[in-house]
Each structure stands twice: as C-alpha cells, then as structure tokens.
C-alpha cells in the first residue's frame, strides 16, 4: 500500500451498509466497489466456517474463536457482534490505512455492529459515519431469498430470520433506508445515496 500523504489527497470516508442477511447488501455493493478504485469494502473476521468458494482473506478472514477473542482483547476490532452463533468483526488497522491513503471504506455489517460504529463516531470531534439500511420488501420475501441461496441449513436459516425480525425494527436511526424489491430500482437508489453520502 502506498504511504499516505495528506498533502496530495484528502482522507477517505467511512460508510456503513447494514441490514438483514439476505436483504441484498452485497448484491448492491459489490458491483459499485468493483468499478471504483477509490472505494473498498472492509474484509471482516469471522468464526463462521467458509462456504464453498469462499477464500480466507477475500470474503472474510476465517479465524477460530480463541483468535477472535484475542482480537477483541487486543483492541484490534472497530466493532464486533455475535450473529447466528458466530462472531463477526471489523479489523481496525486496514481501515485506518485505507482512510489515510484517501480510499473510502464501506462496512457491510449487521445492525448491532452498525450501532457500535454510530456510538463510536458520534462523539465530539469525530465525523458522523453515514449509515444505509438495506431492507427486504417483507420477511416472507427474505425467507424465500435465503432459502433459494442454499447457503444455510434450515436451523441456521431460522436464526437468520429471527435476527432479521429484530434488525427490521432498527431502521429508524439510519440515514437512508432502501427497500430492495425491484433490483434495478434499488441499485439506482443505492448508487445515488452512496454518491451523496460520500460527497457530504
């Protein structure tokens, strides 16, 4: 990574995209990140086992529980949460490096983590972090999408749906809520929101 030089570029911005598993956060975000070199997605650490095709260091850093807890204790995570019986957290050091180098960083996380970020950056002297919530049109549609994805067992799916129900009650404190019903419409609204929030 090139060394940061604040005289040649402004610091990047942090932005959060949250919402239930299966609502379409990645579907909306990944194409945008792919086409914008100045925008990167943070790679989280998790204790969840990799799905077929997932690679360590790409979708996640796959770690065991002891390693994750050591990361918590060492203050290495910007936020972390337990979701569907697994730990997930955002490593702080790469984010700081990206921001200092002028790259904006998106966190694609669940709602407890988003809440921690909001609390952490809403203190005096910090810039508030914009928060986007991606919602499914309904819990029924979400259940169908998750089932169709075939990445979880029925028991795991039930945990995700229970979490989704709780997450959908939290939309009130987000800056933007996008209902991902028609994908093309949601994509356009998402890109507009990202552009506006990253410029602000």
* Sequence-ordered alpha helix ranges (H) in 23-73: 25-35, 65-73
Residue of minimal Cβ distance to ligand 5GP: 113
User: 84 and 17 in contact (C-beta within 8 Å)?
Assistant: no
By the rule CB under 6 A, 174 interacts with ligand 5GP: no
79 near ligand 5GP (CB under 6 A): yes
Give the nearest distance from C-beta 104 to ligand 5GP in angstroms.
Answer: 17
Q: Which stretch binds ligand 5GP (CB under 6 A): 27-35, 85-93, 138-146, 190-198?
A: 85-93
113 binds ligand 5GP (CB under 6 A): yes
> Is 87 near ligand 5GP (CB under 6 A)?
no
> By CB under 6 A, what part of segment 14-43 binds ligand 5GP?
21, 25
Which two tokens mark 64?
């065991």
Part in contact with ligand 5GP (CB under 6 A); list of ranges 6-14, 65-73, 108-116, 119-127 = 108-116
Binding of residue 44 to ligand 5GP (CB under 6 A)? yes
Type and span of the H or E element at 15: strand 14-18
Q: Are 33 and 50 in contact (CB under 8 A)?
A: no
How crowded is residue 49: how many other Cβ atoms within 10 Å of its Cβ?
8
Give the interface segment with ligand 5GP, choosing from 64-72, 75-83, 130-138, 173-181 (CB under 6 A): 75-83
> CA 87 from chain center: how many Å?
14
Find the radius of gyration of the CA atoms of the chain. 17
Q: Does 68 bind ligand 5GP (CB under 6 A)?
A: no
Judged by DSSP in three states, 157 sits in helix
Residue 197 to residue 192: CA distance in whole angstroms: 9
Give contact residues for ligand 5GP (rule: CB under 6 A). Answer: 21, 25, 44, 48, 79, 81, 83, 88-90, 108-110, 112-113
């Amino acid at each position: 990574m090139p060394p940061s030089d604040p005289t040649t570029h402004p610091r990047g911005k942090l932005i959060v995209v949250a919402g239930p598993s299966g609502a379409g956060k990645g579907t909306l975000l990944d194409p945008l990140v792919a086409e914008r070199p100045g925008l990167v997605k943070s790679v989280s650490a998790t204790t969840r086992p990799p799905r077929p095709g997932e690679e360590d260091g790409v979708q996640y850093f796959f770690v065991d529980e002891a390693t994750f807890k050591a990361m918590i204790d060492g203050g290495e995570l910007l936020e972390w949460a337990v979701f569907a019986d697994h730990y997930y957290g955002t490593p702080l050091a790469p984010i700081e490096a990206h921001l200092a180098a002028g790259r904006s960083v998106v966190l694609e996380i669940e709602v407890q983590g988003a809440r921690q970020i909001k609390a952490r950056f809403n203190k005096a002297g910090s810039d508030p972090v914009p928060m986007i919530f991606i919602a499914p049109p309904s819990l029924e549609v979400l259940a169908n999408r998750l089932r169709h994805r075939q990445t979880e067992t029925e028991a795991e799916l039930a945990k995700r749906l229970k979490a989704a129900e709780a997450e959908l009650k939290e939309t009130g404190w987000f800056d933007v809520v996008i209902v991902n019903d028609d994908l093309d419409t949601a994509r356009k609204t998402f890109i507009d929101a990202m552009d506006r929030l990253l410029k602000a």
